[in-house]
Chain A
Amino acid sequence: MPYLEVRAIRKTYPGGVLANDDIHFNVEAGEIHGLVGENGAGKSTLMKILYGMEQPDSGEIWLGGQRAHIAHPQAAIQLGIGMVHQHFQLVPTLTVAENIALGRETRRGLFADRGVMRERVRALSDQFGLHVNPDALVSDLSVGLQQRVEILKMLYRNARLLILDEPSAVLTPQEVVSLFEVLRRLVAEGCTAIFITHKLDEIMTLCDRATVLRRGQVVGTVETARVTPAEIARLMVGHELEPPLARKASAAESRDRLIVRDLQTGDARLQNTTVNFSVKSGEILGIAGMEGNGQTGLVEALIGLRPDAKGDILLDGTNLHGLSTRDRRKRGLALIPEDRNREGLSRPMRIWENLASGEYDRSPLNTGGVLRLERMRTAARALMERFDIRAPNEGVAVSTLSGGNAQKVVIARELATPPAVLIASQPTRGLDIGATGFVHEQLLNLREQGCGVLLISADLDELLALSDRIAVLFEGRILRIFPREEATREQIGLAMAGKVESEQAR
């Protein structure tokens, strides 16, 4: 009998996003179970349900042979389920022991019995090999140690099942190694762990089994000893066939529109790696890779959000190095950012205000320092028509729009004036099929017009459908660039797992 059994969990968020669709999976006592999937695959929702932070619409959770009703986190803790969040729930000015015992203090009269608390923390810390000083202030600890405090906090509450939400995302490689040691020790001492990640090598090293989620569904549970990373990667990115897109031949003359030479993004984790590539006119260059391999840094360095970035970025022959983001945009660089809600739009502001935010500083929207609001509204109405943005009128707040329409606002702003090069970072994330098709169409249109498009996507199908070449980003560098004809799912999957040494030597 499995220790934890999740049966037919389904969760739809208000707004209609189906985050979990008929989820089944089991965790055996004493195992480290991996839960993998790209962002938006439904991992976080599932964990929130297990920890009582969200309630499923339907489905059952069984723990140790009994049906568990988990109404809130306190109930989860009562059942012995502990969660280590990606963002630590710690109080920086309290000591380690105070943080761990917070809300569960041992009383001695009016006061907390600090001695007893300290000793319990020390005992737990020794038992599980965590080596944390109970008297240290949390604000003085490294991120890795703070994470141990979070783990101890759960153990102090007698958690037997630990859920770790992307615990390695915030750690240095050395800290990851010691986190793994800690987790192995925990399991040896009788705990069970669910380890959420999207990094394949971690699953392979640490986990006995892993359940793969994709678009809210379980696509399989694998025993890590019996599969290759590439196979897991394929499960994660999926292999449904979408209707083939019509790709016309692009403009014949192929000049380089964007050349990136020896770019260092200034990412502390990816030091000493440089990126080199070019995007030709009328070309879509796809960037594949598991998340966290330098995509964000690359995009930010290109658009000018990384002051520490080094290297040359040539846009139609002009070096953008040292130019501000605004100057880069004026020279024809456009961006569809990864997170439209935080980076792409100002959600409380109206559609026309968002649309004007690209060109409000010049004529015709601005004459002699005066904003021409009526022109902005008129221009916005035209753009809404052209890009099929569905909203009651241009005056509604962007926050009221669906994901697809919000993304269209971003696209309309970026493409209002045709750019020289468009950087599209996860442009279809979280969109439904219709909106996805619209975005694809726009990217292909740009390509036909002779723009260069840099398409960064976690969706391999999307990359294969749209790209002229596919570059694979791995640990901050481009491992290989596949011409479209040579790009197969298997080849790219291997490269995404870092397995192309032999080919690169070629």
Chain B
Amino acid sequence: METGELILNIVASTLRLSTPLLLAAMAGLLSLQVGQVNIGLEGLMLAGAFTTVVVGFWLGSTWLGVLAAIIVGMLLAALFTLVVTRFKANLIVSGLAINLLASGSTAYLLKVLFDTSGTLSPASLESLPTVNIPVLSDIPVIGSLVFSQSPLVYVSWLMVPLTALFLYRSIPGTHIRAIGQNEEAARSVGIPVRRRQYLALMLGGGLCGLAGAHLAVGDLALFREDMTAGRGFIALAAVYFAAGRPRWAALACLLFGMFEALQFRLQLISSTPPQFFQMLPYVMVVVVLAIISARKEWRKGW
């Protein structure tokens, strides 16, 4: 394989692999900004992936499956909001509960509904069709790699500026940031704090549902137990390293996606045990982001 081709291949798979991270990171960012960090991103994604496959299979439409995933993500996030705000439950415990609930219940339902375990791959379920962006996808070499993707890849790119715009320019978004910074102050000027908390966290739930849907039907069309494989936590790490700012979180997600893409290539060409390379993305992302975020003046602005 030529070097140029290799690089382009890595770029393409980077984009694909960062998609669920980007979506989950924007969800984590919303939760961080409203002051109720949701460590249940992982569980919300998993529930989304499962819902996509099951509903898509039942209704015979992948897109309806994706829609259902968004709804399930939002409902679970609403539940999370309820327990952490109304009942003042601990954030960590509640987030963990979401993760355990999603992991356990998807495995259980897999058994009960389909009498199988491990993987569910209904033959009649199709993955989402590749969308070619007109004109752009005709650009030689790059076009077909970058602008010929599964639709949720584009959605994830769009979500980064949209989240930023929402948080930093819209009125509810400004309220969300105000609540996260100084809830007392937000309350004192009459902001409906509880409603905004639901808004931020449920939007995040929807994004996680989408992230799960991409994992399930973005390339293939299957659900595997615990297929999220820690991506929710990586997304959360990206959010923290970015100090809650959308574009830096997105960059961190791309970085992780890139290391993951590299890892696959390295496994193919090396005799070192594959586990070593599987570990690499996680290590690298921590190292690189720690170095970047250690710089002063890092935590200002968007």
Which A residues fall within an 8 A CB radius of B?
73-74, 88-94, 98, 102-105, 107, 110-112, 114, 137, 153
Contact = CB atoms under 8 A, between A and B. Distances in A.
B177 A91 contact: yes
A89 B184 contact: yes
A110 B170 CA distance: 6
Contacts of B8: none
Contact of B175 (A74, A90, A102, A110): A102
Nearest to B191: A103
Given A90-B185, A91-B185, A103-B189, A112 B171 contact: yes
| B170, B174, B186, B300: residue with the most chain A Cβ atoms closer than 10 Å | B174
B178 A91 contact: yes
A50 to B, nearest CB: 15
B169 interface: yes
Interface string B156-179: 000000000000011100110110
B197 to A, nearest CB: 15
A98 B191 CA distance: 13
Interface of B: 169-171, 174-175, 177-178, 181-182, 184-186, 188-191, 300
Contacts of B188: 73, 89
B179 to A, nearest CB: 9
Given A103-B190, A112-B169, A89 B177 contact: no
22 contacts: A73-B188, A74-B190, A89-B182, A91-B177, A91-B182, A91-B185, A91-B186, A92-B181, A92-B182, A94-B174, A98-B174, A102-B175, A103-B186, A103-B191, A104-B189, A105-B174, A107-B171, A110-B170, A111-B170, A112-B170, A112-B171, A112-B174
Nearest to A95: B174
Contacts, number: 53
B192 to A, nearest CB: 9
B169 A102 contact: no
A404 B122 CA distance: 73
Contacts of A103: 175, 186, 189-191
Contacts of A88: 185
A74 B191 CA distance: 11
B58 to A, nearest CB: 36
Instruction: Give the top 6 A-B pairs by smallest Cβ distance, nearest first.
Output: A103-B189, A89-B185, A91-B181, A91-B178, A89-B188, A105-B171
A93 B190 CA distance: 19
B135 to A, nearest CB: 30
A41 to B, nearest CB: 25
A102 B191 contact: yes
Contacts of B182: 89-92
Nearest to A112: B171
Given A102-B186, A105-B174, A93 B181 contact: yes
B91 to A, nearest CB: 20
A88 B182 CA distance: 10
Given A73-B188, A90-B182, A92-B181, A102 B170 contact: no
Contacts of A73: 188
A94 B189 contact: no
Nearest to A83: B188
Given A73-B188, A91-B186, A111 B171 contact: yes
Given A91-B185, A92-B182, A102-B191, 5 more contacts: A89-B182, A89-B188, A91-B186, A105-B171, A111-B170
Nearest to A87: B184
A110 B188 CA distance: 23
Contacts of A111: 169-171
Nearest to A137: B300
Contacts of B189: 89, 102-104, 153
Contacts of B186: 91, 102-103
